[in-house]
Amino acid sequence: MYALAFGIGTKNARDEWLEVYFPAPLFHPEPALVDTVASVVDYQGGNVDIETDTTRLQTLSQIWSGNSHASLMTQLAKTVRPVVVTILETDGKPQTTPETYLKLHLLSHRFVLPNQQNLDGIFSLLPNVAWTDQGAVDLEEIDQRQLQARMAGTVLEVAAVDKFPKMTNYVVPPGVRIAHSARVRLGAYLGEGTTVMHEGFMNFNTAAMGPNMVEGRISQGVILGAGSDLGGSASTAGTLSGGGEIYITIGKNCLISANAGTGIPLGDNCTIEAGLYITPGVIVQIMDEHKNTVKSVKARELAGQDDMLFIRNSRNGAVECRTNRKAVTLNKTLHGHN
């Protein structure tokens, strides 16, 4: 069994799911627990969503009396919102909105890393909604909701119109700092000790393994290794636009300086100087300090190698790669978020 979770969701007037919050998802749950749930909610196998009711939740609470599962069932039985149990027998292509939300939760709960699970087709399963101070609102219903709020003497605050919600409304990982929560989407993986500053951005299906300093943009599919620093306005190439198929990984103890970026994977202990963007096709002069020779290659030929220092020659504009003799070291006090 891949995953199992009970969630509280929001539906629109057409009885369609807008979003689902899974407070305690289970990754690879114990078979006995799955069997218990199956017997109560009439689960017949496969990847499914089963909207459940108070009676079933109370039954599960009685069966699990005295443990954490029972407490959650008791709390869910009291809600007036729709409750769904989502069961994923396999890591198949998502078919529903609750399935998609569960997989995004698994990432932000640190159960899986980016690119380790099937997320094919999720954009068509995530409705574009208005994220307000009253929760998710269907765009066809937003005008009426705003009017109702005004008539009641209040204002319906619309923070965003998007398919993805911010992560912190669903998951707050321990040991992290996020200066601007709207800039981290649900489905991001933030490791212990990670700091995301105000202009830092983490898309869904990304990871900062921790500890990390994120002041730039981590695009979909990108993994930032432990101890690495993504400087202000720096960026990493993703795969959502432009036809790119190579997932970018940045190794441990790397520095992507301010306004710099990379479109190739980097190994450990690499540095890219400020303002320099390394794309796969850029011509790089490899400097061999021992032999005092220079060799020109395309940057893609250096992908994944360790100890690289990329700089631009200030005299002739050539991009050079030398041996990086000093790796970045993050401030331990700054990234201790207990």
Catalytic positions, written as ranges: 215
For tokens 């951005």, the residue is 201
Identify any residues that bridge with 201 across adjacent strands, giving them in sequence order. 217
Residue 285: left (phi > 0), alpha (psi -120 to 50), or beta?
A: beta
From residue 300, give the alpha-carbon distance in Å to each of 189, 262, 263, 266, 312. Answer: 27, 11, 9, 10, 17
Distance CA 188, CA 190 (A): 6
Measure the CA angle with vertex 83, ends 178 and 176; round to 5°.
Answer: 15
Q: Give the number of other CB atoms < 10 A from CB of residue 86.
A: 26
Strands 261-262 and 158-162: unpaired
Contact 185, 167 (CB under 8 A): yes
